[in-house]
Amino acid sequence: MQNREALWKKSELEAADWFLSRNRALLLARNFRVKQGELDLIFEEELPEGSIELVFAEVRTRSLDGWVSALESVTYGKRLRLSRAIQAYLLRYRGRATSLRIDILARDGEEWTQVRNIVI
């Protein structure tokens, strides 16, 4: 279990670095936890027109030989917990963002993929 947790934390750090290297963004929080659920990464991203968007990123990693892909591992229950955790975060948020979106940062093997603006 300790090994799995270390790998998960390493993947989360790599996902944050990957996202920040490709977007004009500021990392606001990692592992925001409330009773309703957890948010892996939260960013404020500056969009091309200059507005700020709040981005909630769910990090999913799987090996190439797994039963399901990283994207397929986001179940209905996980989406429900994400929605509730986002609502709790928004009650506390006092930043500059005028919009929000939910992304999945997924890795099957070595390559990261960003799925933008998922519907939960």
Is 53 inside a domain boundary? Answer: yes
Which pLDDT does position 68 carry in this prediction?
59
Which pLDDT does position 105 carry in this prediction?
94
What are the residues whose beta carbons fall under 8 Å from the beta carbon of 104, sequence distance 6 or more?
Answer: 57, 58, 59, 60, 70, 71, 74, 114, 115, 118
Which pLDDT does position 3 carry in this prediction?
72
- As for how many domains the chain has, the answer is 1
Q: Which tokens sit at 24?
A: 């004009």
- pTM of the predicted protein model: 0.89
Is 28 inside a domain boundary? Answer: yes
Is 120 inside a domain boundary? Answer: no
One pLDDT digit (tens) per residue for the chain, 120 residues: 557 777 778 889 999 999 999 999 999 999 999 998 999 999 999 999 999 999 999 998 866 665 656 566 677 888 899 999 999 999 999 999 999 999 999 887 778 988 899 877
Residue 10, domain CATH: 3.40.1350.10
Residue 11 has a CB neighbour count (10 Å cut-off) of 18
Can you give the residue range of the structural domain that contains 91?
2-115
